[in-house]
Structure 1
Amino acid sequence: MPADEAERTLLACCGSSHWARRIAAHRPYPDLDALLAASDEAAYDLTPADVTEALACESLTLLPDGAYSAAHTALSAAHAAYESRFGHVFVICLDDTPAEESPDLVLTEISARLSNDPDKELTLAAEELRRLTRGRLTRSPL
């Protein structure tokens, strides 16, 4: 696919235009492992501005269908507190977490990370973005 189309597709995996351009520019990759390694390397090189750009493209972590309303209320309040403190949505990779455990994990992690200073939290959010990106690339039709 043309580079600009590849970049648009890659932006669905990670919202950093710098990351998407870099990954698209080094195609083709011999296999998924090479793509994931390149993705990790590019993610580790993101500047705080690149991470902020990518975070702006993320949405709230959704609860699984059938979650009870108290969980929705608690998570909504936690997400609001997090966004108020840090100015971006809370991101966490739940790829290896059973769906029934994800609400508790998200609430626990938001609560724990609310005490971080902004620089430390940006570093943690960047790592979660890297993990999310790996999972998205694995499931992507690239």
Structure 2
Amino acid sequence: MYEKKILFIDDDESQRQMINDIIKRFGYAVKTAADSGEAMQILESEKYSLIIMDLNMPGVDGMALCKRIRKTDSKSVIYALSGHAAEFKPERFEEIGFNGYLFKPVKIKVLKMAIKGAFERAAIRKEEATL
């Protein structure tokens, strides 16, 4: 079941804690993962409407993780998060399976709008699936 839950994946502990606290202040349920392995374990047992992930992580990076997730999950909205996202073309993100991207350091207002937009998109997908 896809609910208004968010999974945030970043290898930087301070970044995870900060984003976790901000999202909770917005009133959403959030879970964090430190790497792709932990994220995949979480995703085996739970579904998330929104997944936000850092692109630059040791081991399996965000690009490869997004591709893995998309093999089994086409409904979640997935956003890339990076201080280097400008180096990538928007079409490349779409080809991989991302629905959008955010720049580090993420501004609170931008994050709030991105989350709201993701849940609106998830609701539309859910409605289309029932038609």
* TM-score normalized with structure 1 length: 0.31
Point out the structure with max Rg over C-alpha: 1
Greater percentage in helix: 1
* TM-score normalized with structure 2 length: 0.33
